[in-house]
Every structure is written in structure tokens, then in C-alpha cells.
Structure 1
Amino acid sequence: MTSFSTGRSLPLPPGRFGLPLIGESISYLQEPARFIGQRQKQYGTVFKTHLFGRPTIVLIGADATRFLFTNESQRFEMTNTTSFEVLLGANSIGVKTGTAHEKLRKHLFKSFEPRALADYAKTMEELTHLYLHKWEEMKTFTWYPELKKYTLDIACRLFIGVDNAANENLEKVYEAWSNGLLSIPIRFPLSKFARAVRAREQLLVQFDQLIVQRQKQPTAHRDVLGILLQAEDEEGNRLSIEDVKDNVLAMLIAGHETLTSALTSLCLLLAQHPQVWQTARLEQAKIGHTQLLTPECLNQMTYLELVLKEVLRILPPVVRSGSRKVLKESEFAGYRIPQGWDVFYQIQETHQDENVYAQSQQFDPQRFAPESTQHRQKVGSYIPFGGGIRECLGKEFARLEMKLFAVLLIRDYEWEILPGQNLERLVLPFSRPRDGLKVKFWRREG
């Protein structure tokens, strides 16, 4: 399938570059799913285009993801838009590459070790109860923005020890920052990018104040900020203050936006598939409600695990990977991948490969059951958290929050999708229903 001999002349992948300078960027941003779908139908699973000022090759499928993951840092290197790099910061894991990325990743992983996750679960459960009760009193609401508040509250509490629910200003500043991540990186008064840069500066000032508190009482807080300030590598080296600040900021976006998308999809799909919902509820009835929701208790919920896996397959929060710059000319599927171009892989289309997932458009948790062979047919066919050396650091944090939320929701509550709304998916920057998922919500009787 792949090799790295470039002695023979190979063709470029099929496709087109579009208009001068802007390429096909406008068409892609308007409707990414249609853009990719049309070109996949016309050209296959490997094609070229021109996006965001760069000649780009799009790769789809398990073979493509394995190809990229196994050659990450040798032949491909993570690259980001200017706005992303400026707003995340030069010390962020999202922009680090090579050895620097590897060392930083080991430091950051300490905040997601099993012991830390067990501590986080208690706070997650407490906040989940509070929000479920709030929604019960509201009766009808739009769930996506409410879930955004919920996941941001958990992220702020567990990452920086701040009660976001009582700090509306923090929420507004965070939103101004995150809204600029995909903006045009031009600073002029009131531009989205300029507002985001100012918001980043405000957030870092708040982090500085929190760090001073942690340094005065280093063992008083078991949040991510406290853990990273104390974390040491094998040689006793610690992260710099700038490293800590940039990466806590990056974790806020990663641990908040993608979870909002995933939980919204869970609520939508359960309402649309009552049989799955009922089976998940029966599992909860068998386990009983007396146990604390520890990671060990959650591991008993095998059917719920299948449901969550299928949610992330059929409606992944992120539909495409970040771009990789081609460091060395390579070959894939008989095509030349030139040095200096960009490549990215498509998560959504890879998850819908009919050669791996039978009737891939159907929501079927049983496809992940132990007796099923669908998901084991090809390594790289299931990639909601990416893979390789850049696999999502907070994967287990996300899985824990999703499962805990699902348990408390399914056990005690009912909801239905209100009529007359648009459930079509928007996929940039993160997947969600166009109208935000309007629901009626109430506590179960009995």
C-alpha cells in the first residue's frame, strides 16, 4: 500500500485546486460534509484540493489513518492556522512537534492518570446532579448551549479550581477567546481575532493569580493546574509557568467543546432510538443505584459503553484531523505526496466505511459488542480521539465524563425532542445540531 521510494514517477492524486489564492476554502467552509462527500464520490478516498492557502491532500479510511499515525514526526508534522497558534500559545501541546511534543506529553499525562480521574469523578457527579436538577426546573430548553455551560463548569472546576457557574465574566472571556480559534488572523478594532487575543491575555492574568495561590498552598488543590505545577519528569525537571498556562488553556478547549458535542449527540440519538435507550435503562436497573459512581462501578456498565462508542462513531465531535505538513515526499495508494504540501485525514468518513461498518448510517451499539468483528476488522477504522503519538491526552477524562453523565441522565430523567426544529448538523468547529437540540425534560416517575 505504501512505500517511500520516489525513484519512479507517480501521479498526484486526482482533484482540483479551485480559484487562485483562495483555492476551494470557501466551498469547504460553507458545507464541509458535502464538500468532502462530493469529492470522495468523484475521486475516491485520496484526492487533492487547495485549502487555507495550502495545496492539500485529503485521506480517508483506516489505511490512511495508519499511514499517517505510523509516520507522524518522521514524514509528517502537525501544522496549525496562524490564529490557532497565536491563541493557543507557543508552549501549547497543540503546536509542539518532535521531541518537545513527546516530553511535554509525558508531563501533561500526569493530570489524567487513574488516581487523578478517580478524584475528578466526585466533582463530575456533584455538578451533574446540579445541572440535571436545573434542567428539570426549566422544563423546556435548548440543550447544546446548556451542555456548553455544564462542560465548561466541570472543566473550570477540575482544571483551574474555579466555580464557573458563579463567574459569568469568566464564561464571556472564555467564549471570546474560543470564538477566535478559526477566525481570520487580522487584528483591527472589534475583529473576532483581536477580541480573542485580548481574551487570551485576560485568561492568562487570571491563571497567574491562581498560580500564586497554588504556590502558597501547593497541596491544597487536586486540580489539573495544581498537578502540572508539581509534576516532574524522570530527571526532576518541572514545566515552566508559561508551559503550564498555555497548556491549561489548551485543555479548556479540548475538555469542553468536544464533550459538549458528544453529550449533545448522545441525548439526540437516545431520543431517536428508544429501544437503545430502554436497554441502557434496564442495565442500570440491574446494577442498582446504591453504589457510588466510581470508575470501577462504571466499568460494569458494558452496554452503556457500547452506546457511547457508537455515539462517537456515528457523530464524532471533530470530523477531520488537524493538518500535517509533509516533511518528506512519500507515496500512498499509488499516488505521490509532495514535500511541503499539507495532508489531513477525515474522521467522519472513515467511521462510515461500509467495508468495515455494515449499514454504517444506522445507530447500532451492538456493532461494538465482544462477539462482533466489525470494529476489529481494520486498525485505524475507529478514531474519535485520533491516534498515534498525537492521540487525545484527555481521552479517559472524556470517557469518564460521558459515562457518568449518561448514567445519571438515563436513571432518573426523560426527555423528548420538540417538533419544528432543524436537526441538520453543523460540523465546524465542532459537530452540533443547527438549532441546538430543543427538548422537553422531566424527572421519571417511580
Structure 2
Amino acid sequence: MVTAVDRMTETLRERIPPLTAVPLPRAVDERVLRRQWPSSEFAAPPPGSGLKAIPGDAGPPLLGHTVRMMRYGVPYGLQRFERYGPVWWSGAFGRRIVTLTGPDATQVALINKDKAFSQEGWRFFIERFFNRGLMLLDFGEHHTHRRIMQEAFTRDRLVGYVDSMGPTLREGVASWASTPNPRLYWALKQLTLDVATRVFMDMPSGADALKINRAFVACVRAATAVVRQPVPGGRWRAGLKGRQLLERYFASNLPAKRAGEGTDLFSALCHATTDEGERFTDADVINHMIFLMMAAHDTSTITSTAAAYYLAKHPEWQERAREESLALGDELPGTEALDRLDTLDLVIKESLRLVAPVPSMSRKTVKDTEVLGYYLPEGTLVGVSPSVNHFDPRYWTAPHTFDPERFGAGRREDKSHRFAWMPFGGGAHKCIGLHFGTYEVKALLHEMLRRYRWSVPRGYRVRWDYVSLPVPVDGLPIHLHRV
């Protein structure tokens, strides 16, 4: 009997573009992605349930698909979607992981009506390094912490954060003039850390900045370590040491923030109180600061890097955006001025689609459930894949093409499904700092546009490393020209 789910799965497979239409990383042999291993069922559905078993395969012995997943990113996800449909499993990181692809499957997990999907999936990857960050909390506890934290992201505080970041961004971008051929990713990463240090802690970037940045990098990369033990020289051990350094750093600064009346985020978390008198403990503040500092400067770095790359590859869009930025004059822009940069809005949204800063979101089932007619037993580690949704041809015209106009008023392809475009996640755990992050990226690109024109080498195409979050393998070489 052919069910509605069967028909939808076949339709999906027909609509997914062949890999020959997908821009693959340089030097990738398509046969590596096309190689197949024997399929098997993830778990047998309960008799009489009418549910289907999830298809998939374990991949190569020992490592499974770990290396292919991290090395090839989006093309890997599309290949699996093409073969298995919206729900499939694979062997990776020593576990069997079910992946949900496509907006419909994503919606089930992120809306989570029956509370079957827990944030415990994230804990498998990052709990040791970002313990009790907001993203790792569940249900009632998450709601309570988010409600307190919302006091640090009100409109008035957001205006203050944007005003605070302006001088740091202008000074940092101006300093690049002495290095006309930078590796842009690393320049942006240092700059966004400087912004986070200033806005989140009201402290200038000083002697501690480099070791703090290294600690954050170590924590993020440790999440996808293949060897998940503290062996000397390993990523896992480096991440644990990084976490210890960050805890000491924030704990040493916390008493002054509790005692003061600062306007930075650190102070806001120390003093945030709900109408019912709920407040964060010292441990809560430290945990949230470590997570927010990582999330803020890593995702902003990735987004600004991707947007700068596409503006370099498409100079007509760069000139269009520059015209709007120059029209603002020389004053440091606040939120109202940044809201008028419509072209950058389109470019940033398209860059977020093409390079999702968080390409996969983790969950774990806390009871038996189903997604689109497929059976997921309790205890299943689940991945939700925004990076695949962003290339689904049912919702996006020519999805591998840079086309910011798809977000314009006349098209709004992002509205074709509520989970077709989801760079900030969705549901109860949607990114609490999405407006802050968008303003930061826009303000940073504005400063670049008013000071420089930039380009990449002729024929250059960036290759993203997905070992943790997407990072350009070569750091993204660009050439800056003073305007």
C-alpha cells in the first residue's frame, strides 16, 4: 500500500538536485560522496503502529560517516537527502544518529508539541564545554532562564549595545589598512571578540584577549572531536582546558559586575530580575556568559565572513550596498540608521541561507515518537539540518545561486514555509540574540563598505570546513582597496 508519506518521500527525491548540480569543495571526488554502504533499518516500529522504519546505513567501519559529514557539509547532507528522503540515520561519532531534513520534518522536532524532543542531544556534543548554557536547558527550566535573560535583550538595551559597539568596529576595520591582503575570517574573528568583550563586559580587548579567543575556539572544536577522551594533544583535552580558563576568567570579574550598575550584558545578567523576583545565581551567570560570548562572536564571524565573500564575488551588490552606507554620512550609526540599510538586509539573509552559521541542531527523544510516519524510539540522538533546508528546491529558486532578491518584498521565498529559512533555529529555542547579531553584522559590513572595496583572487571559490562550525579552510584571502 502506498501511503501519503511514501508519495511525499518519492516527490522529495525527485526534486532534490543531482550532485552534479551542487558546487562541491575543490578536489572532491564525487565518488567519495556517491559511495554507498548497505542500508538497514534504524529500529523496528511497534507492531500495528502503521509507522515506518527509518532507513540509513552505518557507513565505513569505526568512524562511520564522521569524516564525510565534517569534510563535505552541505553536499553530504544533500546526498543523504537524495538517497533516503527526509528522515534517515547514519553512523557517526560512535553513535547512530537520525537526521531530519526538509522543513516539514524540522517543524515536528522544533515545535515539539508532544515534548518528545529534548536538548539532551546538544549535551552529547557540547555539555562539557558549554555546561548549562541556555541552549542546553529544557522545558520549564529553559522557560524560566529565558524569561530572566530576556531582560538583557530588551529594545532599550539593544540600542545601548549597538551604540557601544560602533567605536570598536570603526577602529578595528580602520586598522586593516596596514594589512591590505588579510585572511578575512581571522581578522573578523578577532574583531567580533573585541566587540563581545566591549559590549558584553564593558572591558577593552587587552592582553587576555588572545588566550580567551583560543579558549573559545578550543571549546567549539572539541564538540566534534572523534577521540572523546582527554588524551594529550587532542581536541577534547584542549576544550576541557579552555572551559576551565573561561570559568576562572568570568568568575574573577563577576563580583565587580554584581556590585556595579553597568550597562553591558554581563551586568545585565547579574541584575536581571523578573516581576516575581527570579534572578540568576553566580553559577548561572558564568555559564550563560560563556555560552553567549561563544554564540555571539562565532556566529557573527561566520555570517560577516560569508556576506563579505559574496559581496566580493558579486561587486554589483557591493556597490549597491556601499551607496546606501555612504548615504548615512560619517556618524556612527545607531539601530534606526542601520534599519535603513535595505541592501545589506537582503545580502545578510542570503548569506545566512547559503552558509548557515549553525548547520546542524541536536535533539534527543525522551519518549517514543514519530516524524512524518517514521518511528523514533526513546533515547534517539537526532540532528536537524538547516543547511539542507536552505537548499530545498521546493522552496528556493535555483538554490545554489547567490540571489538576495529572493528575500525582497516581491518574492519572499523565505516565507514559503516557516522552516524553509531557519538560520536562528525555531520554536522555544529560537536564538535569543538574533537581533543583536544581525545589527552587529550589519554595522561591521557598513564600516567595511564605507572604507574599502574588496575582492578575492580571480576564479577563487571558498571552501568551508565543517569540523565544528563552518570556517573557510584558507581563512578567506581578500584584497582591500581604500575607497
Q: TM-score w.r.t. structure 1 length?
A: 0.91
* 1:339 alignment partner in structure 2: 378
Q: Does 1:153 align with 2:194?
A: yes
* 2:256 alignment partner in structure 1: 213
Aligned length in residues: 438
| Per-residue deviation, 1:254 | 0.3
Q: Contact conserved, 1:164 with 1:170, CA < 8 A, in 2? A: no
| Per-residue deviation, 1:72 | 6.1
* 1:105 alignment partner in structure 2: 146
Within 5 A, what are the aligned runs for 1:333-372? Answer: 333-372=372-411
* 2:445 alignment partner in structure 1: 406
* 2:243 alignment partner in structure 1: 200
Q: Does 1:374 align with 2:416?
A: no
What is the alpha-carbon distance in structure 1 between the residues aligned to residue 114 and residue 143 of structure 2? 10
What is the alpha-carbon distance in structure 1 between the residues aligned to residue 428 and residue 232 of structure 2? 39
* 1:180 alignment partner in structure 2: 222
What is the alpha-carbon distance in structure 1 between the residues aligned to residue 139 and residue 368 of structure 2? 18
What is the alpha-carbon distance in structure 2 between the residues aligned to residue 419 and residue 252 of structure 1? 36
* 2:33 alignment partner in structure 1: none
What is the alpha-carbon distance in structure 2 between the residues aligned to residue 260 and residue 329 of structure 1? 38
Give CA deviations for 1:125-171 in whole Å, capped at 9, x if unaligned. Answer: 11111121111121111111111101111112222233224433433
1:394 to 433, 449, 461: 433
What is the alpha-carbon distance in structure 2 between the residues aligned to residue 6 and residue 296 of structure 1? 59
Within 5 A, what are the aligned runs for 1:76-87? Answer: 76-78=117-119, 79-82=121-124, 84-87=126-129
* 1:62 alignment partner in structure 2: 103
Give CA deviations for 1:330-356 in whole Å, capped at 9, x if unaligned. Answer: 232332222221222211110111111
Q: 1:189 to 1:288 in 2, by over 3 A?
A: closer
* 1:170 alignment partner in structure 2: 212
Point out where structure 1 has 5 or more consecutive residues left out of the alignment. none
Equivalent residue of 2:127, what SS? helix
Q: TM-score w.r.t. structure 2 length?
A: 0.85
What is the alpha-carbon distance in structure 2 between the residues aligned to residue 230 and residue 410 of structure 1? 37
Within 5 A, what are the aligned runs for 1:204-243? Answer: 204-216=247-259, 218-219=260-261, 221-243=262-284
Give CA deviations for 1:358-409 in whole Å, capped at 9, x if unaligned. Answer: 1111111111111214222211111001010111111111101011112221
Q: 1:413 to 1:223 in 2, by over 3 A?
A: same
Q: Kindly provide the amino acid, as one letter, of the partner of residue 206 in structure 1.
A: Y
| Per-residue deviation, 1:414 | 0.9
Equivalent residue of 1:47, what SS? strand
Q: Tell which deviates more after alignment, 345-354 or 371-380.
A: 371-380
Q: Contact conserved, 2:65 with 2:91, CA < 8 A, in 1? A: yes
Q: Contact conserved, 2:200 with 2:265, CA < 8 A, in 1? A: yes
1:330 to 325, 347, 369: 369
| Per-residue deviation, 1:427 | 2.3
* 1:294 alignment partner in structure 2: 334
Q: Kindly provide the amino acid, as one letter, of the partner of residue 311 in structure 1.
A: S
* 1:317 alignment partner in structure 2: 357
Q: 1:303 to 1:29 in 2, by over 3 A?
A: closer
Point out where structure 2 has 5 or more consecutive residues left out of the alignment. 6-44
| Per-residue deviation, 1:19 | 5.4
Within 5 A, what are the aligned runs for 1:242-321? Answer: 242-285=283-326, 287-321=327-361
Equivalent residue of 1:430, what SS? coil
Q: 1:75 to 1:198 in 2, by over 3 A?
A: same
Q: Kindly provide the amino acid, as one letter, of the partner of residue 96 in structure 1.
A: L
Q: 1:72 to 1:203 in 2, by over 3 A?
A: farther
- RMSD of aligned alpha carbons: 2.4
Q: Contact conserved, 1:54 with 1:341, CA < 8 A, in 2? A: no
Q: Contact conserved, 1:6 with 1:331, CA < 8 A, in 2? A: no
What is the alpha-carbon distance in structure 2 between the residues aligned to residue 259 and residue 125 of structure 1? 15
* 2:482 alignment partner in structure 1: 443
Q: 1:107 to 1:348 in 2, by over 3 A?
A: same
What is the alpha-carbon distance in structure 1 between the residues aligned to residue 93 and residue 336 of structure 2? 45
